[in-house]
Structure 1
């Protein structure tokens, strides 16, 4: 698989600080006393541990690794984080990097070699599944979980001119000839594959008999869909939203139990009669292995602040994402559970 890197770096200048006139008069009148006190007590700026990060300093310069190609859900989340962190003055300089290959496991393998707090990586349920399916040597829990951020529901779409007018129409055709109706997905064993497996299983088709075609980014999947190279596509709503709104793609179903705010007319899997196929994908942010507890907490505090901001809440609304925030400790515990449950799902579906 091809590994590529796309860089998008922007900078903002820092803000200067000034001391108000009353403070200057105080310093002028008692400078010697203050200097003596600092020397005796070790207090003040000179005593600050330069290696101790705080929530106000730890995220000033970041690289966020999206473990997939441009236009993918990870890429969209990384770009949204870049914009929101800067808007809330939680970071000044952010580079977004795309690393493709093996469902994100290439990016994961590379990231385990990183150190410190300036490099962060996105991960999610898709990557949990990919590590299992690809028998990857590393898993997400090898990293330092910082915060779970968002949830996004899946959609299954077809080209506007497709003869399949409903999910049941498509599944019926799939049952007749599984190999003749290829489905575009993001990666082997990822969230798209898991949800697609659950759908076709409901139709009485073994998931391993279906032609699931993997694409490293949403852009590539769109080209295949619009060029009628595949019969349907599965991804997070955000990856297909523009083409759905333009009338070039049609949603057969969303993986939620209720209509999406951004696509209120799209039928849900519950509407189609598949209540057990409800599924939401989560995405979170990770630091390299070996980050200290103090730095881990400082980073987690940054994203806790972001999650409460009006900027981020508007970002969730605009992208149709749900708030799935968990701090570092809760996220780490949840990740262990996700690892176990995903292994069971993939085994049940015959994808592992």
Structure 2
């Protein structure tokens, strides 16, 4: 073969459609987790990373935890450090939207690139094993009597558990501005505070508290799902007479300024990862409800979620 013909053949092969779109992104993936270790975002990010490696779409994963301000600190770092980087993802979810609505941080999630929603989870409320509160009715009675005496612990201000508490306050005639809420930057901090009795009631996803509930160190007293969830033996808030229904979804975003081709490749990678055995095992273990929604439908869902959460938070007196 003549040399010029050979070179033309190489060029055609390099640009041809026979190459998989994700080939350029199958090396080291950088995964920003805008929360401290031990929480729902951390668990989601690491489960997704393991699934991506199993799926063969990433040879290695570099994880970075940067907690605080409902994910706004990690979001700002991701936005500034990863512009145009097609090998980067950030875990996010409803908590980040709520925090943005409430706190108006300098960097908005709208400045990075929506990739996919992954799961939905509902908040469970727990008390320490030795708490004088045995049921949610006990908590509500004290909450009505002296709102400030009930110390609630959960994620950052504007998190879904914070919103759920404000919804409960409105339900039982308590001024949401009188809620005594203690935000934590990660599930590990919240768990220690609950077990240590530093907060009266804690809220988060069931998976974060499950080991401590099963070990008898926490008592679950209510969950914010519409109906009882498989594998979660906890009465719903609605079942207990309080119309508090709120889901906490989680997903991933790509960096700002990536191309359409890079975005599509990341979407394909994430979708492929959700079909692995390890991802299925993570869903089962953590009691996550699969809620895959990718590309533009996910972007539209986020826009709708912003509007819905803002309306809920306004009604609950949080904005």
> By the TM > 0.5 criterion, same fold?
yes
1:270 partnered with 2:203: no
Residue matched to 1:60: 27
Quote the Cα distance in structure 2 between the aligned partners of 1:271 and 1:252. 11
Residue matched to 2:61: 94
Quote the Cα distance in structure 1 between the aligned partners of 2:226 and 2:14. 57
Deviation at 1:249, TM superposition (A): 0.3
Question: Contact between 1:141 and 1:335, CA under 8 Å: does it hold in 2?
Answer: no
Query: In the TM superposition, what are the counterparts of 1:5-16 in structure 2 within 5 Å?
Result: none
Quote the Cα distance in structure 2 between the aligned partners of 1:346 and 1:132. 9
Residue matched to 1:159: 128
**Cα distance, 1:300–1:174 mapped onto 2, change above 3 Å:** same
Residue matched to 2:51: 84
Question: Contact between 2:127 and 2:202, CA under 8 Å: does it hold in 1?
Answer: yes
Residue matched to 2:102: 133
Query: In the TM superposition, what are the counterparts of 1:230-249 in structure 2 within 5 Å?
Result: 230-249=199-218
Consecutive aligned runs of 4 or more in structure 1 exceeding 6 Å deviation: none
Q: SS state of the match for residue 55, structure 1?
A: helix
Residue matched to 1:322: 289
Residue matched to 1:15: none
Q: How many residues align?
A: 316
Deviations 1:250-270 (A, max 9, x none): 11111112223232x211112
Deviation at 1:37, TM superposition (A): 5.5
Residue matched to 1:12: none
Residue matched to 2:142: 173
Question: Contact between 1:254 and 1:269, CA under 8 Å: does it hold in 2?
Answer: yes
Deviations 1:120-140 (A, max 9, x none): 111100000101111112221
Quote the Cα distance in structure 2 between the aligned partners of 1:88 and 1:74. 21
Residue matched to 2:168: 199
Larger radius of gyration: 1
1:186 partnered with 2:149: no
Residue matched to 1:337: 304
Using structure 1 for the length normalisation, give the TM-score: 0.85
Deviations 1:19-59 (A, max 9, x none): xxxxxxxxxxxxx48x775445565545569xx98224424
Q: SS state of the match for residue 306, structure 2?
A: helix
Using structure 2 for the length normalisation, give the TM-score: 0.93
Deviation at 1:313, TM superposition (A): 1.9
Task: Report the RMSD for the aligned CA atoms in angstroms.
Answer: 2.0
Residue matched to 2:89: 120
Q: SS state of the match for residue 114, structure 2?
A: strand
Deviation at 1:336, TM superposition (A): 0.9
Question: Contact between 1:88 and 1:311, CA under 8 Å: does it hold in 2?
Answer: no
Residue matched to 1:109: 76
Question: Contact between 2:118 and 2:292, CA under 8 Å: does it hold in 1?
Answer: yes
Q: SS state of the match for residue 112, structure 1?
A: helix
Deviation at 1:311, TM superposition (A): 2.6
Deviations 1:134-182 (A, max 9, x none): 1112221211001111111110000112122221221111111111110
Q: SS state of the match for residue 277, structure 1?
A: coil
| Runs of 5+ consecutive residues of structure 1 not aligned to the other structure | 1-31
Quote the Cα distance in structure 2 between the aligned partners of 1:321 and 1:226. 24
**Cα distance, 1:162–1:292 mapped onto 2, change above 3 Å:** same
**Cα distance, 1:332–1:196 mapped onto 2, change above 3 Å:** same
Question: Contact between 1:253 and 1:267, CA under 8 Å: does it hold in 2?
Answer: yes
Residue matched to 1:218: 187
Deviations 1:189-223 (A, max 9, x none): 11111111112221211221010001111111111
Deviation at 1:119, TM superposition (A): 2.0
1:260 partnered with 2:233: no
